Amino acid sequence: MVTQYLFGVPVETFAVTAEVPKGTELPYFSQEKGMTFTCALGAEDIVYGLGETMRGINKRGGRYISFNYDDHNHRDDMPSMYGAHNFIVVDGEQTFGAFFDTPAKVVFDVDSDGSGQLSVACESSDLRLYIVEGRGAYDIVRQFLGIIGRSFLPPLWAFGYGQSRWGYKTAREVSRVADKYREAGIPLDYICLDIDYMDRYIDFTVNRRRFPKMAEYTAGMLERGLHLVPIVDAGVKIEPGNAVYEEGVQNGYFCKNRDGRDFQAEVWPGMTHFPDFMQEKARAWFGGHYQFYTGLGLEGFWNDMNEPAIFSTEYRKKDAPPDADRGDPDQPDRHIADFKDFFHRLDDGRHISNYKVHNLYGAMMTRASGEGLSKLLDRRYLLFSRSSYIGAHRYGGIWTGDNASTWKMLRQNVYHMPSLNMCGFLYSGADTGGFGGNASRELLLRWLAVSVFTPLMRNHSAIGTRKQECYRFRNTEDFKTIISLRYRLLPYLYSEYMKAALRQDMLIRPLAFDYPDDKKAREIEDQLMIGESIMIAPILEPGVKGRIVYLPEPMTEVRYNREGFTCMDVGAGERTAMAPLNTVVFYIRQGRLVPVGEPVSNTAEMDLLDVELLGSGTVYEQYVDDGYTKACSLERCVLQRREQAEG
């Protein structure tokens, strides 16, 4: 049961799409000190949720601030990342979910001082609070997913493997990446174009010298089974003659400064204006401009810098001293002052500083692009954004930003996935191999073995770091093996994604959600459930050849290497699983099945129905379609039966 509590006059966030009955008496919480909600936690209570935040799946012991930031130094104590996902689930003595629907700053103190207190401080007293009651954490999450609307449905090719790097400068360089992958026989479905494809970092342009004949180039790539995925930044370059700039100025589509003029901030293109994505008309206008790309045959995009990220503003120079707030743990960045310097016009006529609706900016950019692309294309599009708010999951996915080539970040990727799923973001993933720093061969292989199971599987790295394309490492055969597992599992992974999205359910879950009565399973954070059949127990440490795995029930242990799949039934309890770098071990639940396909070099070659069934079950309900139709429904499921004789 979900109940809504209304405080003040909240800004419309579009997060919740269902009609939710209003309540008068607030259970669990005592509301103190303005809009601070507090609740005493039991000693063993687990607190789930908060999507894109640091630390483990159980958020207990930490302090988290919803205030979207571009900070590439992902430390454990970093309070804010790029998204605001204000949904928590308390599981224990009291079991309930709470969604704090407000676009302003929210501070979640989840028993950070060990006193057993959960406190949620909302900076704005205008908000909607949704309380979800149910039969345990998983049921509560499903009810929550039920009120925020269906997840974005990407095309099949978006589930392929993608290569990206900040620094690809020319069509020639991009073609070389494609050639090298095909030569090495490593499957690949798309290559991302970072900011250098643009003309001086201006959105909706292509640098004609470095990417001549873009439409032909895109078509040629598509013939090789490769999609190009350009980046789009939030800021619009101030430059007479730039049509997007001129239209924005004329129509009042940009955010304003204190004097009512269009606000100026420096980002990659130099001085820019920020589109006022809070206005419906500005969204339609910006989204419509994706026609520039769709006209070139492009169908996939990543939206960046939409927290929004700022280098300097008309009020604050780049090298200005840090403001007085620095050192205050709740004001973790000097840019916080910048967000008070520009204003949105809401569709109800109110003017409001970005600071007060800050967490919606990236979400509304995603919405603008998603709605634009839905109109422009007769098929599904790929879109993932850096910044987000709950609700944006209906228009696109997210990636978890500028991580680094460290084992800690790999582990964080594992922790992020179920938390993001709880907040609606099914299509997500990390920069595989790490963005900052230099990836070792071992780290990249282990990371790929995790990314095989995340919907977005993209290798991305920063300019100036060690080049991280798989073919640059010794013995590319090993990379081919791991990535080919992804493709062989696609009949299952695609089916499970679509079923989860259509049922408004989670795809990636903590073990505790499937085995709520198993005390040990409840504590495990480095193993995950992927869809209805698979459990993974990835290797997240350097220099080890195996790990201890906990099985809450007897399962089929599947070992995949260059020879293919080997299955073995194993009992419940702890066991040691050895996995050399070129091998992935995963588990299939008792009585369940996993359909696997033949190896292919990209999704265009796949026949989703040509499968072999692994596991001890008898029937699997497989979602199948052409991979791009917009008309997706559970009616597209077919039953795959295991032959009696085989079983």
Name the β-bridge partners of 458. 162, 431
Q: For ligand MIG, how many residues bind (rule: CB under 6 A)?
A: 9
SS (H, E, C) 362-375: HHHHHHHHHHHHHH
At 442, list the tokens. 């071992």
Q: Which of 7, 28, 166, 565 binds ligand MIG (CB under 6 A)?
A: 166
Smallest separation, CB 130 to ligand MIG (Å): 31
At 385, list the tokens. 């954004």
Smallest separation, CB 44 to ligand MIG (Å): 38
* Strand segments (E) across 328-439: 343-345, 351-353, 382-385, 388-389, 397-399, 428-429, 431-432
d(CA 137, CA 94): 11
Question: Does position 401 bind ligand MIG by CB under 6 A?
Answer: yes
* Percentages of the chain per state (helix, strand, coil), in multiples of 5: 25, 25, 45
Question: Does position 232 bind ligand MIG by CB under 6 A?
Answer: no
Q: Residue 318 or residue 474: which is nearer to ligand MIG going by CB?
A: 318
Smallest separation, CB 543 to ligand MIG (Å): 29
169, 172, 178, 182 alpha-carbon torsion, rounded to 10°: -150
Phi and psi angles of residue 115, each rounded to the nearest 5 degrees, phi first? -85, -5
Residue in 142, 123, 124, 140 with CA at minimum distance from that of residue 132: 140
Phi and psi angles of residue 240, each rounded to the nearest 5 degrees, phi first? -55, 135
Smallest separation, CB 461 to ligand MIG (Å): 8
384, 469, 217, 229 alpha-carbon torsion, rounded to 10°: 0
Question: Does position 615 bind ligand MIG by CB under 6 A?
Answer: no
Question: Does position 194 bind ligand MIG by CB under 6 A?
Answer: yes
Q: Which of 262, 402, 478, 526 binds ligand MIG (CB under 6 A)?
A: 402
Q: Residue 362 or residue 401: which is nearer to ligand MIG going by CB?
A: 401
Contact 536, 495 (CB under 8 A): no
At 460, list the tokens. 């991305």
Smallest separation, CB 564 to ligand MIG (Å): 35
Q: Residue 166 or residue 628: which is nearer to ligand MIG going by CB?
A: 166
Please state the separation of Cα 87 from the chain's center in Å. 16
Question: Does position 409 bind ligand MIG by CB under 6 A?
Answer: no
Name the β-bridge partners of 84. 389
Instruction: Using the structure block, give the residue that is written with the tokens 């499937």.
Output: 514
Q: Residue 231 or residue 383: which is nearer to ligand MIG going by CB?
A: 231
Other C-beta atoms closer than 10 Å to the C-beta of 406 total 16
Q: Residue 162 or residue 401: which is nearer to ligand MIG going by CB?
A: 401
Site for ligand MIG in 331-350 (CB under 6 A): none
Smallest separation, CB 403 to ligand MIG (Å): 9
Smallest separation, CB 539 to ligand MIG (Å): 26
Site for ligand MIG in 78-137 (CB under 6 A): none
Q: Which of 231, 364, 593, 600 binds ligand MIG (CB under 6 A)?
A: 231
* H-helix or E-strand spanning residue 576: strand 573-578
Smallest separation, CB 402 to ligand MIG (Å): 5
Q: Which residue has the CB atom at the shortest distance from ligand MIG?
A: 166
Smallest separation, CB 268 to ligand MIG (Å): 7
Smallest separation, CB 231 to ligand MIG (Å): 6
Smallest separation, CB 232 to ligand MIG (Å): 10
Residue 514 to residues 123, 226, 534, Cα–Cα distance (Å): 36, 37, 11
Smallest separation, CB 460 to ligand MIG (Å): 6
Residue in 426, 438, 433 with CA at minimum distance from that of residue 410: 433
Q: Which of 121, 195, 529, 555 binds ligand MIG (CB under 6 A)?
A: 195
d(CA 163, CA 458): 6
d(CA 180, CA 168): 14
Q: Which of 60, 386, 416, 522 binds ligand MIG (CB under 6 A)?
A: 386
Mark 563-602 with x for binding to ligand MIG (rule: CB under 6 A) and - for no binding: ----------------------------------------
Half-sphere exposure at residue 314, Cβ-oriented, CA atoms within 13 angstroms: 16
Strands 534-536, 584-589: pairing is antiparallel
Q: Residue 58 or residue 465: which is nearer to ligand MIG going by CB?
A: 465
Residue in 388, 353, 327 with CA at minimum distance from that of residue 123: 353
d(CA 607, CA 625): 10
Site for ligand MIG in 453-482 (CB under 6 A): 460
d(CA 477, CA 114): 49
d(CA 131, CA 6): 11
Question: Does position 304 bind ligand MIG by CB under 6 A?
Answer: yes
Q: Residue 462 or residue 502: which is nearer to ligand MIG going by CB?
A: 462
DSSP labels, 166-233: TT--SHHHHHHHHHHHHHHT----EEEE-GGGSBTTBTT---TTTS-SHHHHHHHHHHTT-EEEEEEE
Which residues are known catalytic residues? 304, 307, 402
Give the three-state DSSP class for 22.
Answer: strand
Other C-beta atoms closer than 10 Å to the C-beta of 276 total 26
Q: Residue 89 or residue 236: which is nearer to ligand MIG going by CB?
A: 236
Q: Could you list the residues that contact ligand MIG (CB under 6 A)? A: 166, 194-195, 231, 304, 386, 401-402, 460
